[in-house]
Amino acid sequence: MFKKVLGQAFGLGDSDPNEKSPQERAKAVQGSSSAEEAALLLCAPTALMQLSPEEARIVVGYMQPTKIEEGRTFIREGDKDHTDHMLLVLSGEVTVETITVSRVSPVTVTVLGAGSLIGEMGLLDGEPRSASCTASTAVRAAVLTRAGLEVLMVEQPMVAAKLLLAVSLRIAQRQRDTADKLKLYTQLVAAMQQEIDRLMPT
Amino acid sequence: MLKQIQQFFQNSVGTESVPPPEASKQARPQGGIAVGTRESELACEHLCDSALFAPMSRSEAELAATYFVTQRYRRGAILIPEGDTQLTHYLLLILEGEVTAETVLSDASRSITLTVIEAGGVLGEMSFLDGQPRSATCRAEAEVLCAALSREALLLMTSQAPEVAAKLMMLVALRMAQRLRNHTTRIQRYSQLFETMQQPLP
């Protein structure tokens, strides 16, 4: 599905993006402004920090640019089939929503901007998407597919290792947030249980 | 600690051609898990996770294990204390046994279990990555054998065997993604519970 919406930038054309020589990749990245932008975001502290600009440019060579029009939901909660890619937002805003909480109307979890990484968990574990992502403005993004990452791991293992370290760091940051929330809820429930035990001793 | 990681990335730019002086091909962290030992067997078993789209081969897992050192804990021993800011430079892969992650109730009356980590699970990876204080206390529920990987050892692995380091980071990221999904689901259940409790009685 993503193959179809992928843009023409980086001079990709119709050729399989995963069958290119490193030289071709470097050439495609050179002189492309959105490739340069993606590289900059990849090594910016808000995104995948710790990659050097040179290394970020190498990663970008394995990504494909895409444009998402305003209002389009490009990742659907529970989707089992399209879990083979992650996106780096280059510009625009993405609303992340989940329906599981209230079961009726979706609840906005967060709003993500340029430099955000989306869908990295699905890329890693292939499990259904955990939330829906909708472009709240026109969005430009760079896509890294699982196949692209696999090729990167073979051709540029050190860059791949650093990229994965950077992705892990981002997951760690989100994990701290959820761990705090979970701690709070668990404490709340434990406190309620204590109160119930006190009021209604068995 | 974060500085060190940043330094690591800055230092390691272009190390493919010029390896850092300490990273000779033979150098390994002292006391690393030797190939052919029972510990190595166990480590390989847990490192070769077929859920990964690019799993480690047996020889890669054996090589990766040489960068880990084993640690043994008695039942009830604390592997990681919550809030620790000093010893945040390593992660643990559980080879045998079970570990609970717990946190103290806000009134400090007792501690509650947040999650149970079984053999094959990874713990301590958040602080390992971001250098922030340890988020929960990890306690051995039974006799525990685990393999510790320090930041320095990972650094060494990245320069000596980048393809193995990439696959290891993928495994760590996968474990984190799995835990994050689990936490997210539990938070959603809790918030559903609290929403229901706020409904007026019929």
Q: What is the pLDDT of residue A16?
A: 60
Two tokens, residue A182: 């979970």
Mean pLDDT of A1-10: 40
- Cα first-last separation, chain A: 58
| pLDDT higher than 90, residue A152 | yes
Q: What's CA B112's distance to the chain center, in Å?
A: 21
Work out whether strand B144-150 and strand B69-73 pair parallel, antiparallel, or are unpaired: antiparallel
Whether A115 and A80 have beta carbons less than 8 Å apart is answered as no
A47 has a pLDDT exceeding 60: no
- pLDDT at residue A160, rounded to an integer: 92
Closest CB to B103: pick one of A49, A126, A183: A183
Average pLDDT, chain B: 82
Q: Do A178 and B183 lie within an 8 Å CB cutoff?
A: yes
pTM of the model: 0.78
Closest residue to B173, CB basis, from A168, A179, A180: A168
Q: How far is A142 from chain B (nearest CA, A)?
A: 20
- Residue B16 pLDDT > 80, yes or no? no
Q: Is B201 on the interface with A (CB under 8 A)?
A: no
The count of C-alpha atoms lying within 13 angstroms of the C-alpha of B180, restricted to the half-sphere facing its C-beta, is 28
pLDDT score of B124: 92
Which residue of A48, A152, A175 to mutate against B (max B Cβ within 10 Å)?
A175
Flag whether the ipTM exceeds 0.90. Answer: no
Where residue B155 falls among pLDDT bands split at 50, 70, 90? confident
* Beta-bridge partner residues of A66: A6, A141
Phi (first) and psi of residue A22, to 5 degrees: -55, -35
Instruction: Give the gap in angstroms from C-alpha A186 to the nearest C-alpha of chain B.
Output: 7
Does the pLDDT at position A48 exceed 80?
no
